[in-house]
């Protein structure tokens, strides 16, 4: 029986992950060798939306290339050897620390040929970077093919591009239009497409120029093809030993609980909110510091802060917050998840947001723990550790967690960027795992604010860069009737359910609140994550969800 494209795609995703796990355990592989070829062939079968023209034999995918380069360390395209490591002391070395703008991780350029990339966010992060690297190697082979003839001889466009890159590296001027023409031949794209991409790369704070990236990707491929200088990806022994053992999640959670203990807050009711680190503090203290009397006024102040308006009140809010119960906990563990603690007993105002008063007795005044977004399976690692009792001097002190709220970014399947999704369950892609739950947030809570609101199951995917239209249409149009896809929901809910229903480390009737705002619509051409950041479109849904979470947990 002939398989559908959706079935072929799901099989390709499964094969990718099985291969990645095997290569990780083995410790090293060559991307263009037999093992790497398995990843390449599976990615080409899958043909994810985010990688656009990856299956085209001649054209380079330019938007996808920029998306990837902003999530990898600057200059990685120049390195033959990429080594994925754990936190192993390089932060104390004299190597320059490179931190990608769109994926916070420490990276170290050891020498001209080697890039070390620190992986402290779990398996999802490792699979994510391996997928991106596989895409780069596919594109590099196209660049080599477009720069040489059938005998491997270098063509004129490649020779001219190499001279352009030399001039660029010395800071010398060169003919931009001629350079764009050479590059358009090598990328297989039109002059206009190439020129537009050159400008996009020039605006990126994280990547080198498109001229340099294409040249160095092609050079490594040519060196391997003609001179047998193989490229290699490896995994340190320490990384392989630590992954899956919650090393960094435990450090992260223990620090939060120790600060709660130091401040005498462990016995108080606790609300945990996973969100970004500006919306909760700006919403609560915007009301308290500036006397904002409605959600609309809070949103207006948030907009001013987001666009960095000259008269914005962000510093006033922060100064007031610091004197009224706000504690900032930048990450020291390696998880790259910052946290905040808000002690409502230290607030000088009676209301936490307009119309909602705080309890009068101090022992009933709640504590809010805010954590930044986790990444994939890291959500389980961190939440599982956070919900465990605090061990102190041989005593086990449970946390009185009243609610757990998750605000996240997600790909929407019916709707537009900035719209809102309210899940009633999480379904883990590629497994039989599914997590129905009672969501305290409802679709009706968000209606009337000018945004689309969609309700239904959310698919927790193995990687957002591994989805194509066939898989997504299956989830949307089949009996699953999914509203969207994201990477953390099932992992959060697994931790909440195990802590409340099995381990009994938190109350059984803990309230859960989930809401997502759409960062993209992967079913619409030009609306995938590779089309660019959400920008100002994200402010309204972010603050609206934050406001509704606070409204629910304090009403």
pLDDT one digit per residue (tens) for the chain, 555 residues: 678 888 898 899 889 999 999 999 999 999 999 989 999 999 999 999 899 899 999 999 999 999 999 999 999 999 999 999 999 999 999 999 999 988 889 999 999 999 999 999 999 999 999 999 999 999 999 999 999 988 778 999 999 999 999 999 999 999 999 999 999 999 999 999 999 999 999 999 899 999 999 999 999 999 999 999 999 999 999 999 999 889 999 999 999 999 999 999 999 999 999 999 999 999 999 999 999 999 999 999 999 998 888 889 999 999 999 999 999 999 999 999 999 999 999 999 999 999 999 999 999 999 999 999 999 999 999 999 999 999 998 899 999 999 999 999 999 999 989 999 999 999 998 788 899 999 999 999 999 999 999 999 999 998 878 888 898 899 899 889 999 999 999 999 999 999 999 999 999 999 999 999 998 888 875 656 665 556 678 899 999 999 999 999 998
- Tokens 């082979």 belong to residue: 141
The dihedral through the CA atoms of 319, 321, 327, 330 has a sign that is negative
Nearest 5°: the CA angle 417, 420, 426 is 115
Lookup result for tokens 């809570």: 445
Q: Give dist(CA 55, CA 57) in Å, integer.
A: 6
Which backbone phi and psi does 481 adopt, to 5 degrees? 50, 50
Q: Which two tokens stand for residue 452?
A: 């689309």
Token pair listed for 35: 């093992």
CA–CA dist 195, 184 (Å, integer):
8
Instruction: Give the pLDDT confidence score for residue 535 in this predicted structure.
Output: 64
The predicted pLDDT at position 82 comes to 98
Query: What burial class does residue 194 get, using C-beta atoms within 10 Å of its C-beta: 0-12 exposed, 13-18 middle, 19+ buried?
Result: buried
Q: How far apart are CA 400 and CA 476, in angstroms?
A: 38
The predicted structure's pLDDT at residue 498: 96
Q: How many residues does the chain have?
A: 555
Taking the C-alpha atoms of residue 434 and residue 149, their distance in angstroms, rounded to an integer, is: 52
What is the pLDDT, as a whole number, of residue 536? Answer: 75
What does DSSP say about strands 453-460 and 420-428: parallel, antiparallel, or unpaired?
Answer: parallel
131, 115, 88: which is closest to 376 by C-alpha? 131
Q: How far is CA 42 from the centre of its chain?
A: 23
Alpha-carbon distance 342 to 26, whole Å? 45
- State both tokens at 275: 């969100």
pLDDT of the residue at 431 = 80
CA 378 to chain CA centroid, nearest Å: 11
Contact 140, 220 (CB under 8 A): yes
DSSP class of 533: -
Residue 298 vs residues 114, 325, 423, 494: alpha-carbon distances, Å: 48, 20, 26, 34
Report the distance separating Cα 312 and Cα 302, nearest Å: 9
d(CA 441, CA 434): 19
Task: Give the integer Cα–Cα distance in Å for 355 and 248.
Answer: 40
């Amino acid at each position: 029986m002939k398989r559908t494209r959706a079935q072929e795609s799901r099989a390709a995703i499964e094969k990718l992950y099985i291969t990645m796990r095997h290569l990780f355990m083995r410790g090293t592989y060559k991307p263009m060798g037999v093992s790497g070829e398995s990843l390449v062939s599976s990615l080409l079968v899958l043909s994810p939306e985010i990688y656009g023209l990856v299956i085209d034999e001649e054209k380079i995918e330019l938007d996808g290339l920029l998306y990837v380069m902003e999530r990898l360390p600057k200059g990685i395209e120049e390195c033959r050897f990429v080594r994925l490591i754990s936190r192993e002391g390089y932060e104390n070395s004299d190597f320059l620390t490179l931190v990608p703008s769109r994926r916070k991780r420490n990276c170290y350029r050891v020498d001209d040929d080697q890039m070390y990339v620190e992986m402290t966010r779990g398996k999802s992060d490792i699979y994510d970077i391996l997928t991106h690297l596989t895409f780069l190697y596919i594109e590099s082979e196209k660049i080599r093919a477009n720069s040489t003839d059938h005998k491997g001889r270098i063509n004129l466009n490649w020779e001219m591009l190499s001279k352009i890159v030399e001039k660029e590296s010395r800071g010398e001027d060169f003919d931009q239009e001629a350079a764009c023409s050479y590059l358009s031949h090598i990328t297989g794209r039109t002059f206009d497409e190439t020129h537009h991409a050159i400008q996009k790369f020039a605006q990126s704070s994280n990547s080198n120029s498109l001229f340099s990236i294409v040249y160095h990707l092609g050079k490594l491929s040519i060196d391997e093809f003609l001179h047998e200088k193989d490229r290699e990806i490896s995994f340190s022994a320490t990384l392989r030993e630590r992954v899956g053992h919650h090393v960094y999640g435990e450090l992260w959670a223990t620090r939060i609980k120790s600060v709660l203990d130091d401040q005498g807050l462990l016995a108080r009711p606790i609300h945990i909110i996973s969100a970004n680190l500006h919306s909760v503090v700006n919403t609560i203290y915007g009301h308290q510091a500036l006397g904002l009397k409605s959600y609309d006024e809070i949103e207006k102040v948030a907009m001013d802060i987001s666009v960095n308006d000259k008269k914005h009140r962000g510093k006033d809010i922060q100064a007031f917050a610091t004197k009224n119960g706000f504690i900032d906990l930048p990450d020291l563990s390696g998880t790259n998840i910052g946290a905040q603690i808000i002690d409502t007993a230290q607030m000088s105002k009676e209301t936490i947001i307009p119309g909602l008063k705080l309890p009068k007795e101090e022992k009933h005044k709640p504590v809010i723990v805010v954590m930044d977004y986790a990444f994939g399976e890291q959500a389980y690692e961190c939440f599982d550790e956070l919900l465990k009792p605090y061990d102190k001097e041989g005593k086990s002190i449970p946390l009185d967690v009243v609610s757990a709220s998750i605000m996240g970014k997600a790909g929407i399947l019916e709707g537009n960027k900035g719209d809102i999704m309210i899940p009633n369950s999480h379904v883990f892609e590629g497994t039989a795992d599914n997590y129905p739950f009672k969501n305290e947030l409802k679709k009706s809570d968000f209606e009337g604010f000018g945004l689309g609101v969609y309700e239904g199951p959310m698919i927790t995917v193995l990687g957002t860069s591994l989805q194509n239209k066939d898989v997504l249409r299956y989830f949307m149009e089949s009996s699953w009737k999914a509203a969207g896809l994201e990477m953390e929901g099932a992992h959060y809910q697994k931790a909440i359910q195990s802590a409340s229903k099995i381990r009994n480390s938190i109350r059984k009737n803990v309230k859960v609140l989930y809401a997502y705002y759409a960062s993209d619509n992967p079913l619409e051409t030009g609306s995938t994550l590779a089309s660019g950041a959400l920008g100002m479109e994200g402010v309204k849904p972010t603050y609206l969800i934050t406001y509704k979470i606070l409204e629910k947990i304090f009403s």
